[in-house]
Structure 1
């Protein structure tokens, strides 16, 4: 094609690739010519400053590294000052499309220094050079490529009523990236349809109102509104209500509020089903997740609303807006967020960033073709765990293709919060076994291959059976008889009983301990419910380590397996005794047949010195239900810092032409549940627990513990 021929007004944003001849990721440009080798030459626009609308000297960029824009979209993105924020908005196609259609009267939720605030859009503002009435600068030849920026002038919904008699404050101006949700004007409650507020003076050069909204090559808005109403009505009549559903509720004052269902059930004193909803912003009279003195979930104060479930309707802002979208072509997958690999490895995601980076749809690792076992395991091991961090960074052979692929997956997860299915499928191919590509595996099989073949790690566990030599392992499988435990045991009780029954001891405190629950296949579970132990004490499971007497606290010399389930001696706790207490305890008629085993006592151990406790901290749990794996991950030291991850929570299209939608949800109610004493948990009714808590208790498959005091060493470090 000849330069400039038939190009017209075409704009684009660079979404991937390294900086090349003036263009870099996130910059906006205008096409000047289309070249044969799949390259574009164009003009480059600056950032949000006084000259942002004036193009700079252009350059060349590959077509595949760009995303096409309309003029209106380019103007909106230019007013976003940060290139990374432009790309972040572009990677949320639903939101970006809604923001591009915003007009006066629409209700939006904007990012503000006070949090997320609801506001009504009053004007679309065109920012840039002034137009001289006598000689329009915009018409001059040298300014033919000038592009005005577009921002949104809004009035906050919850403005101070005491200011109503005073002069109204100037309207706030926001960019497209500041808007996080949009409600079309036809669905804004009547009490928010206030009279137009006169625009306050803005200290900007060349600001003018846009009315109506510029044409963005979309169908007329009135047509979209009528279709949307029909879509909302048909969708609302068939959408089931469940935990995680986005809903709207009309309050007693007539205002429609929006939020996410965090709890479903029958509250104490009620007979019908109610919903516990976490609202998008504070509402007077709402709680922090409690109702009638009972806690059902946990959220920020003033955000929890409890209403009968029948009053909830699907959030009308996120239903299909046209019949065409009902038949969404799965091949048109949402644009994958661009990612530029860095030479530096990303650190584990800190608690302060976990919610904003990870929580939501299309978050975590995208599942594909039976990959949930791998997705759940990778996210559990490498998203937030500090102890496991240097495994990925300092493996024995960092140049191996499979190790490099794993490193890219981990870095992308930590920097961007999302890993596309394509990356994981490449990793599955490189694992070296054909069955890893398409078949579902057990997590322990994958963990062994991951640590042994990919990361070249020595076994994480050193286990001694009796007086035999040590055997290495990467995970610990619980083996015991069902009658050895109560109906709802803790992980601590299961580990203690399994080790004593098999005469097993840990040679040393492991840096990571992954405990697999007693079950066979995907269906049979030895215990219907298992209580997680947030802290695992392995002091009494260490070989050749001092232990204290269960009775008097002095140095222990014997342990007794038969005393383990004794209801008079705190059942489930390991029983070890000094010589005196061992003789006294076993004089009881019910214990005279017991055979206590002598312990290996360190020669330098003092009989009256306190014993140092060795503990492990729970940081993740893998769960399985009907062959589908999900995970719970601790994202920080706070009790409530729990996340729930499902790599195949939703789907677009069918099994052959569609794609999975991974979802991560905050799960603070799990922290509330686990903070209760274990004795109280053992007497609780799991069916009355919140939905995700119940899922954890019923479907737990493997518990992952870490020892922050003992970082994992690589083979090179171990040799040195």
Structure 2
């Protein structure tokens, strides 16, 4: 096929897939040719280094494995030396967008060897090795630090440090500077890091430049507006310096320090600031926190944290409002579909995302997020009840729609839902997810149990979840979910009457005190063909119609341990003539009379879409949000906290977890021999703490 030439300049970053013809994850490229098969061809820019901006030999990459970039974005990311850091920054689109729009004299917080330091952007720096029209020049930011006393730290002209986009952890919005500030012009000086060129006209998107009068500036320095509500220990506050820097934290102490005559506040800041303490002031310990986070100021310098204020004083209406992390939700009668794969990273990933936890609600938060955020399984088997007047139904609908539309559910909605479940323990105590799932399906959705189980010795019974029961000696040290399910079903003589649309498998562990296996390997695809009652099965040896199965053969290392062993009559006789198997007791397999013995047996599989984990009574979840193997999220409804138990609140967080997909894509034999301690942090957490695996019928795609 003749490729179509692309006229306009286009850049991209590779976000998924293995290395292919020169490109790998985190690489930046330019589109020279786009084929009719949807592939990009063009030069590759590897990253920070001696010739980082110079194009290398071209490669080929699929369009769906890339994320489009502007030239400016590509230049900023190119200066980030580690590919993993580029992708991590790209996952936080809100921060990355703010960094791309930085202009001269904007306030930022950067990572530095001395900690997290506030500073002032002075120049956008063009880092170059040599002039070449094919080069893609890297861009960095020249930042002037401000010390913790809020005086400019540099007394005389000196080279300013240069930071990449990944070094910036916060962009202080101009709306948080109450009256703005005229900063003194920084002098241009050369730096010894690389050959650099200053771009004096930095991007000035929107109205980010502060333009105020000297009178307003003097007013900001001399006086802070008095807060409308009294501040107390546990209050979330912000402190604006004489130079306009805004820092945020929670009041840990109030009183009059030695040598002072007015009330002061001891504040634990959100991040480390050079020169701050661990709660000491002038040699006396007033409270305890991490080092370089304690700031002591007069109470008159403190104001309520503007990031969480939904209404503003009348005199501040001229200033633009920053969107608060906990947005005000609009009521809507229209149900929202699950979040699509293309929207997940921008809508869900970040802090104050997902479902906000409160008072032992993590079991409920993690379960609801797993069931309703991105999977369509529950929408198909449990459509939202049509009765919109029922309070508990309306509350659940609000939670689901808020999560899918806004990417955030406040704790008040969850607590209201817990109360409406009708049991005080659901409202006040930590519960097990399976207990909540049962109540959810029975009371809210009013649906029949998801599973129909049959045993030869007992009448069939129903269940919403499947609990694994077996002896530890039946399995190896690190079993897969497939092996656990097969062994449990055969040991208990259980079969599924029908193919379930959703299969929730509970691991052999009980709370946080006992777990049978230290590590369990997730099976991304669960084959239940041999676990269906009265369904045709093929012989494990020759592939013909199976007539017998043998539980004692299950752990046999000569016959693929862990796999269900069923045989035709001939193979059953041959296998059990072996001296080590003569004592086995094969049982007959029930087969429908109308089954064609010569027809191939179709495989019935289910796909993993979520995993609930527990560690020290705290539940979190991993959720698959798309068909790509690397499309995984990690959700923690209580990842962090502001304030104390009385006046504080939890901060939920969602993180992209592509490393889980990379791990699970490895062959099963390689996974069985892997050492969990060498796995990435989140992967290790899943292997150690898995509690429930949620599978869906593949006929209902993600």
TM-score, length-scaled by structure 2: 0.62
Match of 1:389 among 379, 398, 410: 379
Match of 1:121 among 91, 103, 106: 103
The alpha-carbon deviation at position 608 of structure 1 amounts to: 2.3
The alpha-carbon deviation at position 640 of structure 1 amounts to: 1.1
The alpha-carbon deviation at position 687 of structure 1 amounts to: 0.8
Equivalence for 2:550: 560
The alpha-carbon deviation at position 603 of structure 1 amounts to: 1.6
The alpha-carbon deviation at position 394 of structure 1 amounts to: 3.6
Per-residue CA distance 1:406-455 (angstroms, 9 max, x = gap):
01100000000100000000000100111111001000000000001111
SS state of the match for residue 617, structure 1? strand
The alpha-carbon deviation at position 390 of structure 1 amounts to: 3.7
Gaps of 5+ in 2: 1-90, 107-120, 134-167, 174-182, 223-239, 248-268, 280-289, 311-325
SS state of the match for residue 473, structure 2? helix
Equivalence for 2:621: 631
Match of 1:232 among 265, 273, 283: 273
Distance 1:218 1:686 in 2: 55
Equivalence for 1:475: 465
Equivalence for 1:210: 211
Equivalence for 2:519: 529
Residue 599 (structure 1) aligned with residue 600 (structure 2): no
Residues 394/191 of structure 1: CA separation in 2 closer, same or farther (3 Å cut): farther
* TM alignment of 1:100-499, pairs within 5 A: 118=100, 121-122=103-104, 157-158=125-126, 181-182=170-171, 197=200, 210=211, 215=216, 218-219=220-221, 223-224=242-243, 232-234=273-275, 335=310, 336-390=326-380, 393-395=383-385, 397-466=387-456, 468-499=458-489
Residues 182/381 of structure 1: CA separation in 2 closer, same or farther (3 Å cut): same
Contact 2:92 2:350 in 1 (8 A): no
The alpha-carbon deviation at position 322 of structure 1 amounts to: 7.1
The alpha-carbon deviation at position 404 of structure 1 amounts to: 1.3
The alpha-carbon deviation at position 400 of structure 1 amounts to: 2.1
Distance 2:291 2:613 in 1: 30
Distance 2:295 2:197 in 1: 28
Equivalence for 1:684: 674
The alpha-carbon deviation at position 211 of structure 1 amounts to: 6.0
Distance 1:158 1:321 in 2: 39
Distance 1:186 1:628 in 2: 50
Residues 328/505 of structure 1: CA separation in 2 closer, same or farther (3 Å cut): farther
Equivalence for 1:508: 498
Contact 1:333 1:659 in 2 (8 A): no
Per-residue CA distance 1:291-333 (angstroms, 9 max, x = gap):
xxxxxxxxxxxxxxxxxxxxxxx999x9989786999989996
The alpha-carbon deviation at position 197 of structure 1 amounts to: 3.8
Contact 1:348 1:385 in 2 (8 A): yes
SS state of the match for residue 404, structure 2? helix
Distance 1:641 1:315 in 2: 37
Distance 1:320 1:491 in 2: 50
Contact 2:123 2:199 in 1 (8 A): no
TM-score, length-scaled by structure 1: 0.60
Distance 1:495 1:237 in 2: 51
* Aligned length in residues: 485
Contact 2:509 2:515 in 1 (8 A): yes
Residues 559/214 of structure 1: CA separation in 2 closer, same or farther (3 Å cut): farther
Distance 2:202 2:618 in 1: 55
Distance 2:397 2:697 in 1: 23
Residues 544/391 of structure 1: CA separation in 2 closer, same or farther (3 Å cut): closer
Distance 2:673 2:243 in 1: 55
Moved more, 211-220 or 589-598: 211-220
Distance 2:208 2:429 in 1: 59
SS state of the match for residue 585, structure 2? coil
The alpha-carbon deviation at position 393 of structure 1 amounts to: 3.7
Equivalence for 1:715: none
SS state of the match for residue 607, structure 1? coil
SS state of the match for residue 454, structure 2? strand
Distance 2:669 2:184 in 1: 54
The alpha-carbon deviation at position 682 of structure 1 amounts to: 0.9
Residues 617/369 of structure 1: CA separation in 2 closer, same or farther (3 Å cut): same
Equivalence for 1:266: none
Distance 2:442 2:296 in 1: 50
Per-residue CA distance 1:21-76 (angstroms, 9 max, x = gap):
xxxxxxxxxxxxxxxxxxxxxxxxxxxxxxxxxxxxxxxxxxxxxxxxxxxxxxxx
The alpha-carbon deviation at position 183 of structure 1 amounts to: 6.5
Per-residue CA distance 1:173-206 (angstroms, 9 max, x = gap):
xxxxxx994269899997699878469999x9x9
Residues 486/191 of structure 1: CA separation in 2 closer, same or farther (3 Å cut): farther
SS state of the match for residue 505, structure 2? strand
Aligned-pair Cα RMSD in Å = 4.3
Distance 2:379 2:538 in 1: 34
Residues 602/632 of structure 1: CA separation in 2 closer, same or farther (3 Å cut): same
Distance 1:384 1:695 in 2: 22
The alpha-carbon deviation at position 602 of structure 1 amounts to: 1.7
The alpha-carbon deviation at position 587 of structure 1 amounts to: 0.5
Match of 1:675 among 658, 665, 682: 665
SS state of the match for residue 622, structure 1? strand
Per-residue CA distance 1:515-570 (angstroms, 9 max, x = gap):
00001232111000000000100000000111110000011111000000001100
